[in-house]
Structure 1
Amino acid sequence: MTDTNRLTAQDIYDRVPLGARLAYSDGEPEPPKRFTRKHADWRRNNGTGMLISKAPPQTMPSYHLPGRFTLHEGNFGGTSGPLIVLHRTYLFTTSLHFHIISNPPAGSVQILQPLGDTPELLHLATNENEARAWLAANRYSDAYTVQVPEAA
């Protein structure tokens, strides 16, 4: 990842749309795979995911919660559906660096649900028909759709 396209966690919150594919890194080189423990540690801080939620900082009388965002890193499981869904949430204070692999394509449809005061991306459909089919197969009472606009 070059310095010119590095984003901080705050940049992700401010500028990156839900549905974007992101890569993250701690800047360390990948160790050889034969060093399984070192490689597993490296993979925890280096990977990719789809941006599914962003939340601003919150200040309560007894604590302060930094802003955060969540990446969907994958589904793991059997033939009948995912058994494990891997989401990772990063605070604005993380030392990791991020870059955009791809933004959601113009014309695609975000299927969202309210998560507190902010939306959470449930699915990114390629078009309105696919979004309707996904919603019919996956019942969410408060889900809504938003079409991704053409780039400016």
Structure 2
Amino acid sequence: MLAAAQTLRSGWVAQGPAVRAFERELAELLEITPERVVAVSSGTAALYLALYALSLPEGARVGVPVYACSALRNAVVAARGIPVYVDSTSDHPNMDPYSIDSESVEAAIVAGLFGRPVQLQRELPFPVIEDIAQALGARIAGSQRARKQL
């Protein structure tokens, strides 16, 4: 609360020193360079920007988990894509990205639910955006898995 109050009093609510400090700290947590972190207004905005950065054509089919918040679907629709719903794994509500027919999508958004990142053991034939809102900083077998290159 103190940081929020100080930020409001400073007059720098957006893109000020507190935001830059947050971006640096998040980069450190995710073990990536600070220039790869950009704070935005919402998770939906972040997902939309990630889809936009992929330069997908209008009507692109994007795999999304059947069990996740609506932000994933909303970002796909905002990017003029078509959500393709993908089922969960047999042992957890996380989406199984390996069950996606690579001919049926141009990209996918995976979401690590309940603190458990999606386990991506091998490359997929399409770009994958990893939504780590519920698994920020989570590790699999001691490795920082919850991060994405875009």
Name the TM tier (shorter chain). Answer: under 0.3
Name which one, 1 or 2, has greater alpha-carbon Rg. 1
- Which has more strand, going by share of residues? 1
TM-score by length of structure 2 reads 0.22
